[in-house]
Amino acid sequence: MPRVPSQGSFLRFYVLLGLALCIVFLISIGGRTFIEQVRREEFREELTSLPMTLMTRQLAALAPERRAERLETFARQFGMQLTLIPVSDAAPGYFEAARLKRGRPVIDEDPWQLRQLIPGGSFEQGTLLSATLMGWSERQWQASVALLGDWLGQTPQDERPALLSELRLPHWPLTLLTTLPEDLTTVQRQALARGEVVTRLVTEQLTLSFIYRVPESDQWLKVGPIPRHETMPLGLHLPLLIGVMAVLSLIIYLIMRSIEARMARLELAATRIASGRLETRVKVESGDFLGRLGMAFNAMASQVQTLLKGQQEMIRAVSHELRTPVARIRFAVQMVEDMTEEPSIRHQLQGIDADIAELDDLVDEILTYARLGGGPDHGDPLDMVPVECSAMANRVIDALTPLHKSLSITLEADSEIELLAEPRYLQRALQNLVSNACRHGRSQVVIRVWDEPQLVRFDVEDDGPGVPVEARSDIFKPFARLDDSRARSSGGYGLGLSIVQKVMSGHGGSVTVDESPKLGGARFTLLIPRRESPA
């Protein structure tokens, strides 16, 4: 199954998403509180707009000295404390002044403080009607309807529709009836005859309407239906918001989890290709942007595989073709050497033969590099067999000691260590490292073999100048050499360490270089994981 990373950019995305959802949740709660506050203020304005408008309109029609008497009548009728305040003394704010100029009441809570401008004159010189009450009750409803009905009774019958049209408010439907509704009970009809206000409740809609008989008239005033103020309780809002957030979080999580899994497969494929498994491809599941990315990735991998395969085939072909002319040149040199006894000529021929041998070794190195290919699944397959590590290291020492008689090449290994590996290539890798150490070491080269729980470790150390830190990542590249080892006398072709890296890649291991803690020179380390022997 594809590996899905549990940490990384997507985990940070989930954290940020959770914070964003928490912020949205808090904003929703705050928005809900704000909306309910606005709705509550609008409902209070709906309740008070009719009585305040009726009182201010009637006060506007009276002379200033008669307003106090009418104010007392209104106070008894509505159960309010009513006063008149000059606008200059009230000092309303900008928004309050704007509402007052439009003829709308300004309301403060706990207790209710109502203020509305009495029409007529300029705003700065005007007067405000201020009302104070503890709460809105049926008394205020009925007093408002009775006040309007009595005003209609004082108005000629043909002017009443115009007055209602002038007073019509959005939340107070006003209608003049010439006949009573048939569904009124006998008690309600008797109450209307006595001059009382009848309250009707429509149970399906929970709305109120009021009926009042216009004095000394065969008409009735109907106010309503007036919808009730509906608010969703916080106890219902909160679970609803939490549920919405949970569903939204789950949907986003599932979507991002699917994208994360597909990106993880893409990451895994890129890692496998980087390790040399160039046949790896990404499964394309859809035609969305990730599917198009997968198709582009597969096309890139195919192109890289084709280019590397062509390069390896070319290297192999060129290396094989070089062997024939090199062999012919060597044969010709030996024939010329046999035909002459001139010391100077024989000396030159020996130099040419040495150059041919060096060229032959280079061809052998290139062929070895080409056979190893680009990774564990490319090039020649590796036949894994049990290898005794100490014996292999001794064979390397025996092969190199005659070539470097001035150096001490020693092996440090506690016991026999057996490893499942390809013996020829593993010995070639170890021999390349020891040869490299012999070329740069001054007097001593040490091979150490360590038996660790999951792997076998080879350390090759010397007492030479070491490898600079900035060059340690470049020395494993093909044909790469340090600046102080480019001279012909230092030997090597720049492929030895590259071959070591290829061999380690084929075994699933790695090679590193650092400073030797005991000898002070370079220390090359081979880490080879243990494999189970085939049944």
Q: Please give the backbone phi and psi of residue 373, each rounded to the nearest 5 degrees, phi first.
A: 70, -155
CATH C-level class of 306-372: mainly alpha
Q: How far apart are CA 43 and CA 228, in angstroms?
A: 9
pLDDT band for 203, please (50, 70, 90 cuts): low
Residue entry with tokens 């070539």: 403
Q: What is the CA radius of gyration of the chain?
A: 50
Q: How far apart are CA 158 and CA 174, in angstroms?
A: 16
* Tokens standing for residue 335: 């024939």
Residue entry with tokens 């041919």: 356
pLDDT confidence of residue 480: 65
* Tokens standing for residue 2: 């594809």
pLDDT confidence of residue 326: 75
Whether the pLDDT of residue 234 is over 80: the answer is no
pLDDT confidence of residue 101: 83
**Exposed, middle or buried by CB within 10 Å (0-12, 13-18, 19+), for 182?**
exposed
Distance of CA 189 to the CA centre of its chain: 70
Collapsing DSSP to helix, strand or coil, 475 comes out as coil
Q: Where are the domains of the chain?
A: 1-129+232-272, 137-231, 306-372, 385-529
* Tokens standing for residue 77: 């009728």
Question: Residue 440: which of 400, 403, 484, 402 has the closest Cα?
Answer: 484
Fold match, 137-231 / 306-372: no
pLDDT confidence of residue 159: 83
* Average pLDDT score over residue span 335-361: 76
* Average pLDDT score over residue span 122-139: 81
Whether the pLDDT of residue 5 is over 60: the answer is no
What fold, for 385-529?
Heat Shock Protein 90 (3.30.565)
pLDDT band for 500, please (50, 70, 90 cuts): confident
pLDDT band for 350, please (50, 70, 90 cuts): confident
- pLDDT, tens digit, 9 for 90 and up, residues 50-91: 788 888 888 888 888 888 888 888 888 888 888 888 888 878
CATH architecture assignment, domain 137-231 = 2-Layer Sandwich (3.30)
Relative orientation angle of helices 138-153 and 67-78, to the nearest 10 degrees = 130
Whether the pLDDT of residue 170 is over 80: the answer is no
Asked if 499 and 372 touch (Cβ cutoff 8 Å), the reply is yes
pLDDT confidence of residue 58: 83
pLDDT confidence of residue 486: 35
Asked if 143 and 77 touch (Cβ cutoff 8 Å), the reply is yes
- pLDDT, tens digit, 9 for 90 and up, residues 381-419: 567 888 898 888 899 999 888 888 888 999 988 777 888
